[in-house]
Amino acid sequence: MREPRPPSPGRPAAAHKLRWVSARDRDWDGVRLHVVTGKGGTGKTTLAAALALALASGGKKVLLVEVEGRQGIAQLFDCPPLPYEERRVAVAARGGDVHALAVDAEAALLDYLEMFYGLRRAGQALTRFGVVDFATTIAPGMRDVLLTGKATEAVRRRVRPERAARRGARDEARAPFVYDAVVLDAPPTGRIARFLNVNAEVAGLAKVGPVRNHADRVMEVIRSPETVVHFVTILEEMPVQECLDGIAEVHKAGLNVGGIMVNMVRSPLLDPAGLAEAADGAVDVEAIARGLRAAGLDRPEQVARELSGEVVEHARRLRAETAARERLTAPGRPRYALPHLGEGVDLAGLYRLAEALREQGAA
């Protein structure tokens, strides 16, 4: 599904770096924050996890961050619910670790109060009185900046920052990053631009002071070429439309559009000519019945009619999928096809999806 693509305003310059010297062609070299969005239920959490595994492969350290408070990552990796703490959840192919963090707004607010005001204990008292709820409910922008703030902090975090800082700013800048990449399992397409555009969201809230500074630092990471927003979709009309609208909106907000992950792609059961005929309803029911009769099956005519109905439906669905896939070429972004796993997504399935992403150059 990948094809050559020209640079576009949404494509970070870093993604082209080293293309000719790299043994394999990786689309997102230089990107350290991968935001994964898409229509609800299309596989955001699944593909964010698969992308984290793919990026970690070969000895890297990757953090997978969840912000919707649903413990989807723990379920996927078959581990107990994640506390508000970075935990290793998987070892990637050819070495490398995936760590995960389930961020919740309340815990992030306590962190924040402690970081800027030394107020952890007071903060805990505040949560008992529901003040945190109050603050994050009346100011949803505040809630988002707390969540994105955790992800961007992990992107910037360097090994032993205190030690490096003591040796002077130049050393601090040279200390290696704790994580090679961070993958954010983000809110759905309808909310993504607002979620990421925290700067605008807190603008009405704080013009100066620590909240403002914090929002500025978060925004700096999100707008940098180190961050891209990937879109997950399935080949159906509504999700594809949402994907295209989301891409336009994210691009308009001045953020970098990443790739399109086309999830749950099914393999055709017939050759192209057979598919075209079946989609037009031209299935030789009598030939199928003859085959069934020769195989000694009961009620060959009825089974043949039912089977041919399924073949027509399959062919028509594939025709619709082809049209949907065609529409996804319009934004000119890299596209990746991820197979539909008939047996559902277990841990082995996640590794298969990660491998598919790697084979297509996404990591």
**Residue 308 lies near Mg ion (rule: CB under 5 A):** no
Q: Which of 26, 32, 34, 44 binds ligand ATP (CB under 6 A)?
A: 44
**Residue 46 lies near ligand ATP (rule: CB under 6 A):** yes
Whole-angstrom Cα distance, residue 158 to residue 161?
Answer: 6
Output 44 or 335, the one with its CB closest to Mg ion. 44
Candidate segments 38-46, 160-168, 286-294, 307-315, binder of ligand ATP by CB under 6 A: 38-46
Interaction with Mg ion in 55-74: which residues (CB under 5 A)? Answer: 72
**Residue 42 lies near Mg ion (rule: CB under 5 A):** no
Q: For Mg ion, which residue has the nearest CB?
A: 45
Candidate segments 44-52, 137-145, 171-179, 251-259, binder of ligand ATP by CB under 6 A: 44-52
Tokens coding 298:
């009961």
CA of 310: how far to CAs of 8, 269, 279, in Å?
42, 11, 11
Residue pair 210/116 in contact (Cβ under 8 Å)? The answer is yes
User: Which of ligand ATP, Mg ion, none lies near 338, with the C-beta cut-off 5 to 8 A by kind?
Assistant: ligand ATP
> Which residues make Cβ contacts (< 8 Å) with residue 344, sequence separation at least 6?
none
What 324-329 contacts at long range (C-beta under 8 Å, 24+ apart), as own/partner pairs, is: 324/235, 324/236, 324/237, 324/240, 325/1, 325/235, 325/262, 327/240, 327/244, 328/233, 328/240, 328/243, 328/244, 328/260, 328/262
Q: Which of 42, 45, 57, 152 binds Mg ion (CB under 5 A)?
A: 45
**Residue 69 lies near ligand ATP (rule: CB under 6 A):** no
Per CB under 6 A, residues contacting ligand ATP are 38, 40-46, 72, 188, 263-264, 338, 340-341, 344-345
- Tell me which residues touch Mg ion (CB under 5 A): 44-45, 72
